[in-house]
Structure 1
């Protein structure tokens, strides 16, 4: 076993493993993101499931810590997180975001869904945030969907109503709002650590 894989040992159900992203996986993760996004299209929350174009997707991955769920050496899911202050660097709201991990993506290939991989990836993000003494994890997600808002609520996340969102969370929410999606159909959620 590679040294980097020990940190998350036991977090995923057998025969899966959680590890950090490795070189050469970007296009596989992009395909997972597209396949998982189709669930939101089918639920009427997105117009299409087309992920970022390859160059922009690679930039996205490089700007984040990327956790991968694998089976037999093949990626089947991933989560991407970053310190909120880092992603808001240069913005007036950046200092306010310090100590908060922002979960930018959590995608599991539907062929491997409903097996605990989303929970395992989220557990890896939470563990990593704890190692760096982060105070919270925040994200934006589709409202009123069991596999989005409901999934996070069952794992200790609380919805933050729009009027109660501090500027750093508002800024990130606005930046991640998918094109053509009504902001009322999405929410910001926070879990305190």
Structure 2
């Protein structure tokens, strides 16, 4: 449940440059994990974010003053709506914003005719796979991965992510 004072809505074009700083701030949560190297990872390129924006696949969480405090970006992968990125500014965490962003994506996916929302995440980080499992996402075995998800795996390896610690998850709508 999202606390009062926050709202989830489609992003506005002028808000897109605000998303990378939130992504960087949220990465700080990895400092005390074995994935601390993610703190220095580059955020999603603005041109990609703009492309997804034009497709109506970028959402923001805003506070009472319409200040962006979180965001989610999706794209299509193998006939699913894939959650590419979701971040909440740490000072606004644990208030239901992440769950509300995921639910907004699921609602939009249903509206667009998708039957599945998918994502790739870390198995053992509490705000990763366990969080998504509480929202109805289930792991998919590596043997079941389609071509698009195998490409995601390849890009994760290129980025230095330990694939044995990652899991693809689906939520059937």
Task: Give the TM-score of the pair, scaled to structure 1.
Answer: 0.80
Would the aligned equivalents of 2:157 and 2:163 in 1 still touch at CA under 8 Å? yes
Query: Aligned in 2, Cα 1:117/1:81: closer, same or farther, shift over 3 Å?
Result: same
- Alpha-carbon RMSD: 1.8
Structure 2 CA distance for aligned equivalents of residues 137 and 40 of structure 1: 25
Give the 3-state SS of the residue equivalent to 1:175 in structure 2: helix
Structure 1 CA distance for aligned equivalents of residues 19 and 157 of structure 2: 21
- Give structure 2 stretches of 5+ with no counterpart: none
Structure 2 CA distance for aligned equivalents of residues 59 and 30 of structure 1: 12
- Once the two structures are superposed, what CA deviation does each residue of 1:122-176 show, in whole Å capped at 9, x if it has no partner? 0100000000110101110011111001000111111112122222221123224
- Give structure 1 stretches of 5+ with no counterpart: 1-10, 85-96
- Once the two structures are superposed, what CA deviation does each residue of 1:26-59 show, in whole Å capped at 9, x if it has no partner? 3321111001111123322241423536xx6211
Q: How does 1:1-193 map to 2 (within 5 A)?
A: 12-52=2-42, 57-64=45-52, 65-71=57-63, 72-84=65-77, 97-98=78-79, 100-177=80-157, 179-193=159-173
Query: Aligned in 2, Cα 1:139/1:130: closer, same or farther, shift over 3 Å?
Result: same
Structure 1 CA distance for aligned equivalents of residues 112 and 157 of structure 2: 28
Task: Give the TM-score of the pair, scaled to structure 2.
Answer: 0.89
Structure 1 CA distance for aligned equivalents of residues 31 and 141 of structure 2: 24
